[in-house]
Amino acid sequence: MNKKLLKTLTGLAIVGTALGAAFAYIKKCKEVNDLGEEDFDDLWDGEEENPEVSSCTPCRSYTTIPSDSPVPEDEKHIEESEEDDDIDIDDESNDKLDLIMKIIGIGIAVIILIVTIFVIVKLVGSTRSSKNDNTETTSSIEETISTEAGKNTVTVPKVEGMTKDDAVKALNEVGLGYKQVIQSSKTVAKDTVISQGTKAGAKVAKNTQIILTISGGEDVVNTTVPSVTGETEDDAREKLEAAGFKVTVDYDYSSTVAEGKVIKASPSGSVAKGTTVTITVSRGKQIQNVTMANLVGMTESDASQWLQNNGLSVYTIYDDSKGEYGKVIACKYSEGTSVPEGTTVTITVSHKPEPTTKATEAPTKPSEATSQPSSDAAQN
């Protein structure tokens, strides 16, 4: 229940309480007034029966007249008029009080009725609002689920009566594939879709393959595809066309089939005449490029081994004018150069002779015998 409804009910309750209090107060006053009149009438009747108690009434003063004394007509008329006036005033007051009480009662009843209707309307509105919220929530969930499912489904187009190429294009545009079945037909033109396996308008998952029945013409005769593996492209084409097939050619590298020879043919086996057969012709062994290393400074044997391991050939030139003997001093391709496999790489190897070392003899020191004459010679 919202704040606005609470404030409205609170206001109506306060008004109803005030009217109820007023009603109770007026009713109480009326009861007191009626009770006073009854007591006064009783007292008045008692005075008439017992004139001695007239002195007990504080509100009125009466003059006791002997019963046997005649009452003047004027006084009697005045007393009766006063009594009638009092009765009329009391009756008028009572009528007004009754009218006020009726109005207040009607007002209270109206307020209660309004409050009751207001509460019922609000309760019914809340119930409907709750139902509507639940309905909207359910609809939102259903829409979300439907949207998520719809992202992965497509509608199958109608391709019956189309040519095969047009039908395949239409299917591919919506994310569908196909499988074909060739069937002879005297009424449907060749390469035209006779029927589709999934009806047009159906919802299917993306990438679903739709089976297409394709007309092969009046008479479909199956023929075995002749073997053309290892033959030249021209010979293979001639043989296949002679057997009633159409031929297309693809090219690929092969390390086992020589360049210009047929590697394979597809399809193979028994197929309908007029089927397109694709032959794959060898380009020969695929040539790889080799990135050269720095061979300068290697020994002749190490450099030759590296070149052979990487599919390269080696040609060696010897130079006896410079460098360290047996080491590579030059290479035709520098480090980082890309060289095709099978390339011959020329390297220059030093064959400069090593310097020879000659032994030097120490000079002979003359002996004293040769440097000084002998005593015998001196004597002679």
- What are 191-250's pLDDT values in tens digits? 899 999 999 999 999 999 999 999 887 766 788 999 999 999 999 999 999 999 999 999
Name the average pLDDT for the chain: 76
User: Is the pLDDT at 58 greater than 70, yes or no?
Assistant: no
Structure confidence by residue, pLDDT tens digits, 62-72: 444 454 545 45
Is 164-215 a domain of CATH 3.40.50.2300? no
Global pTM value: 0.32
- pLDDT for 241-296, tens place per residue? 999 999 999 999 998 999 999 999 999 888 888 889 999 999 998 888 999 999 99
Residue 379, pLDDT > 50, answer: no
- What are 295-340's pLDDT values in tens digits? 999 999 999 999 999 989 999 999 988 888 999 999 999 999 999 9
Give pairs for 103-106: CB < 8 Å, separation 24+: 104/19, 104/22, 104/23, 104/26, 105/23
Q: What is the CATH number of domain 224-282?
A: 3.30.10.20
Tokens at residue 71, please?
A: 């009452």
pLDDT of residue 222: 82
Nearest to 340 by CA among 289, 266, 291, 281: 289
| pLDDT, tens digit, 9 for 90 and up, residues 107-146 | 777 878 787 887 787 777 666 665 555 555 555 555 555 5
CATH topology of domain 289-350: Trypsin Inhibitor V; Chain A (3.30.10)
